[in-house]
Amino acid sequence: MQLGRLLTAMITPFTPSGDVDYEEAGRLAEHLIALGNDGVVVCGTTGEGPAVETDEKLKLFEVVKARLGDRGSVIANTGSNNTRHSVELTREAAKAGVDGVLVVVPYYNKPTQDGMLRHFGAVAESTELPIVIYNIPGRTAANMLPTTLKTLQDRFPNIKGVKDSTGDLAQMTAVLRDRRKDFIFYSGDDPLFLPVLAIGGDGLVGVASHLCARQFKQMMQAFGAGDVARASMIHRELAPLFSALFATTSPIPVKWAMQQLGWRVGGCRPPLGVMPDDLKDRLSGLLDAYRPATV
């Protein structure tokens, strides 16, 4: 699979002064591949993309791709609620050498289905890179319907997949039933990864995979081999981690967790807040299982 099955939406490290820490970003990307991920998404929701400036994004795309080379795919988040900006950022990301782009359904301005066709069509016509559409109505206030996604697949061969964070298994099933043969379906929600595999999905763009990529790989392999009992057991074992990582707005918990494990990632940029004290206690008790020997 061109972009990989297990991708991590990588957090963006910041220095104590709040600047992007490009060296730590490169180290973290290498660690995530070594952990078992096939690739990383850079400057997505988990990477605080809305709070990262355009020049910072472009440098991150370059730095992370240079560090990973052919060892892992780099998918750049180039989507926004401004079609012209999305097109331009996609073109610049291609120059940075990324392997694909993630383009979110435009947020806040609540586009119509026709508006989505025009938006994604403009991006698809601007690049030869593989495009993964990101449908997350809980954050965008707009849901791309399966018929719209099917139309985009039919019109644009370089629209290669979807990261589905609708939480709606019926809608996911409709997408999977009618998808193009080479179209990749990623779960955008860690707790739904196994259910998505069960209805025919392909992979995950995860948050918990900063920590448990190895377990996710084992779960995929077990399910693919027909060992549903083992896959289900791994899913149940990971459930407390999922619960803690999404108990408040992501990426606040996962970034705090990575700090506790020795990564110099800093806090989140405003408008995100700090880690709640009660959640620190809850999450810290789960981290020993994911603590590396060295960082």
What domains lie within the chain, and their CATH numbers?
6-225 (3.20.20.70)
Given the residues 22, 134, 186, 290, the one annotated as active site: 134
Q: How far apart are CA 81 and CA 266, in angstroms?
A: 27
| pLDDT score at 293 | 59
Q: How far apart are CA 95 and CA 76, in angstroms?
A: 12
Residue 250 binned pLDDT confidence (cut-offs 50, 70, 90)? very high
Instruction: State the average pLDDT for the chain.
Output: 96
| pLDDT score at 274 | 96
In the predicted structure, residue 290 carries a pLDDT above the cut 90: no
| Residue 95: active-site member | no
| pLDDT score at 2 | 84
Residue 171 binned pLDDT confidence (cut-offs 50, 70, 90)? very high
Report the percent of the chain where pLDDT is more than 70.
98
| Residue 134: active-site member | yes
| pLDDT score at 295 | 56
Q: How far apart are CA 48 and CA 12, in angstroms?
A: 7
| pLDDT score at 288 | 87
| pLDDT score at 289 | 85
| pLDDT score at 156 | 98
Q: How far apart are CA 175 and CA 19, in angstroms?
A: 40
Question: C-alpha distances in angstroms, 66 versus 97, 101, 245?
Answer: 8, 16, 30
Angle 22-35/54-68 helices, nearest 10 degrees?
A: 50
| pLDDT score at 187 | 98
In the predicted structure, residue 92 carries a pLDDT above the cut 70: yes
Angle CA 136–65–105, to nearest 5: 15
Given the residues 163, 186, 217, 255, the one annotated as active site: 163
Single-letter amino acid code for the residue at 135: N
Residue 111 binned pLDDT confidence (cut-offs 50, 70, 90)? very high
pLDDT in tens, 199-233: 999 999 999 999 999 999 999 999 999 999 999 99
